[in-house]
Structure 1
Amino acid sequence: MSRRTLGVAVIGYAFMGKAHSQAWRNVRAFFDIPAAEQKVLVGRDAEQVSKAAEHYGWAESATDWQQVIGRDDIDIVDICAPGALHAEIAIAALKAGKHVLVEKPLANTIAESQAMAAAAGAARNNGIQSMVGFNYRRVPALAHARRLIAAGRLGTVREVHASYLQDWLADEAAPMTWRLRKETAGSGALGDIASHAIDQVQFLLRDTVTDVSARLHTFTRRRPGPDGVEDVTVDDAAWATLSLAGGAVASVHASRVALGRKNSLRIEIYGSKGSLAFDLERLNELQFLDATAGPAEEQGLRRILVTEPGHPYMDAWWPAGHTIGWEHTFTHQARDFLTAIRDGIPPSPSFEDGLQVQRILAAIEASAATPATVHL
Structure 2
Amino acid sequence: MVGYAFMGAAHSQGWRTAGHVFDLPARPVLAAICGRDGTAVRAAADRHGWAAAETDWRALIARDDVQVVDICTPGDSHAEIAVAALEAGKHVLCEKPLANSVAEAEVMARAAEAAAARGQLAMVGFNYRRVPAISYARKLIADGRLGPLRHVRIAYLQDWLADPAAPLTWRLKRERAGSGALGDLGAHIVDLAQFLTGEPLAGVSALTETFVRQRPVVSGTPAGASGTEFGEVTVDDAVVFTGRLASGALAGFEATRMASGRKNALRLEINGERGSLAFDLERLNELSFHDHTEPAVSAGFRRILVTEPEHPYLEAWWPPGHALGYEHTFVHQVRDLVEAIVTGTAPVPSFADGLQVQRVLAAVEESAEKNAAYTPVTSLSVHHA
Structure 2 length as normaliser, TM-score? 0.93
- Say if 2:193 is the partner of 1:201: yes
Counterpart check, 1:110 vs 2:128 = no
- The number of aligned residues is 362
> Partner residue of 1:4?
none
Q: What are the within-5 Å matches in structure 2 for residues 335-346 of structure 1?
A: 335-346=335-346
Q: 1-side partners of 2:208 and 2:316: how far apart?
A: 41
**Residue pairs, 1:273-312, within 5 angstroms:** 273-293=274-294, 295-312=295-312
In structure 2, the gaps of 5 or more residues are 220-228, 373-385
1:136 maps to a residue whose letter is: Y
- 2:332 and 2:361 mapped to 1: Cα distance? 26
Letter in 1 for 2:133: A
How far, CA to CA, are the matches of 2:51 and 2:330 in structure 1? Answer: 20
**Amino acid of the residue matched to residue 339 of structure 1?**
E
Counterpart-to-counterpart distance in 2, 1:218 and 1:335: 38
Aligned residue in 2 for 1:3: none
Query: For residues 284-323 of structure 1, what are the alpha-carbon distances to aligned partners after superposition, in whole Å with 9 as ceiling and x for unaligned?
Result: 0000000112x21211110000000000000110011110
Letter in 2 for 1:354: G
Equivalent residue letter for 1:320: P
Q: Which residue of 2 aligns with 1:323?
A: 323
Match of 2:153 among 151, 158, 161: 161
Matched, 1:21 2:12: yes
In structure 2, the residue matched to 1:176 is 168
Instruction: Read off the aligned partner of 1:188 and give its amino acid letter.
Output: G
**Separation in 2, partners of 1:32, 1:84:** 36
The residue matched to 1:223 in structure 2 has which SS?
Answer: strand
Cα distance, 1:371 vs structure 2: 1.8
Match status 1:94 vs 2:95? no
2:79 paired with 1:83: no
Q: In 2, Cα distance between the equivalents of 1:326 and 1:36?
A: 21
Matched AA of 2:317 = W
Residue matched to 1:233? 234
Distance 2:191 2:300 in 1: 28
Matched, 1:192 2:184: yes
4+ runs deviating over 4 angstroms? none
Which residue does 1:128 correspond to in 2? 120
**What letter is aligned with 1:306?**
V
Letter of the 1:20 counterpart: H
Secondary structure of 1:171 counterpart: coil
Structure-1 residue corresponding to 2:248: 247
SS in 2 for 1:38: coil
Q: Which has the larger radius of gyration?
A: 2
Where do 5+ consecutive residues of structure 1 fail to align? 1-9
2:22: which partner in 1?
31
Task: Describe the superposition over 1:48-69 as per-residue Cα deviations: whole angstroms up to 9, x where unpaired.
Answer: 1111110011111110110110
Amino acid at match of 2:304: I
What corresponds to 2:2 in structure 1? 11
Using the TM superposition, give the Cα deviation of residue 207 of structure 1 relative to its aligned residue in structure 2, in angstroms.
0.3
Using the aligned pairs only, state the percent identity: 59
Question: 1:67, 1:319 → 2: CA distance?
Answer: 44
State the alpha-carbon separation in 1 of the partners of residues 301 and 192 from structure 2: 21
Q: SS at 2:154's partner residue?
A: strand
Q: Secondary structure at the match of 1:363?
A: helix
| Whole-Å separation in 2 of the counterparts to 1:197 and 1:272 | 22
- For 1:58 and 1:317, the matched residues in 2 are separated by 25
Aligned residues: CA RMSD: 0.8
Q: CA deviation at 1:226?
A: 3.0
